[in-house]
Amino acid sequence: MANSLLDVIFDVVDLALDVSDAIESTKQLSKPDTVEVPPDPKPLPPAAQRAPTEAEERERAAQAGSGTDQAW
């Protein structure tokens, strides 16, 4: 009789733990995935926007002055 009562108690505790695990896993599945989005980039100042064009012009002027034109 005592063995069967202990078996019932252990079965109830085991069932309670299984239900608790199921609830916990359901909570984790219901959480939305968080994705970090980088902030919008700041626009370049006008001088920085002009710099690549000016550098290319200086390079072309230097090549024209040295007489070695390269095909782009």
Question: For the whole model, what pTM was predicted?
Answer: 0.40
pLDDT tens sequence across 27-59: 877 777 788 888 888 888 988 889 999 999 999
Can you give the chain as a three-state secondary structure string?
A: CHHHHHHHHHHHHHHHHHHHHHHHHHHHHHCCCCCCCCCCCCCCCHHHHHHHHHHHHHHHHHHHHHCCCCCC
Q: In this predicted structure, what is the pLDDT of residue 29?
A: 76
Q: In this predicted structure, what is the pLDDT of residue 59?
A: 92
Domain ranges of the chain: 1-28
For 40, phi then psi, to 5°, come to -65, 140
Tokens of 36: 């970090």
pLDDT tens sequence across 12-29: 999 999 999 999 988 877
Q: In this predicted structure, what is the pLDDT of residue 1?
A: 64
Sequence-distant contacts of 64-67: CB under 8 A, at least 24 apart: none
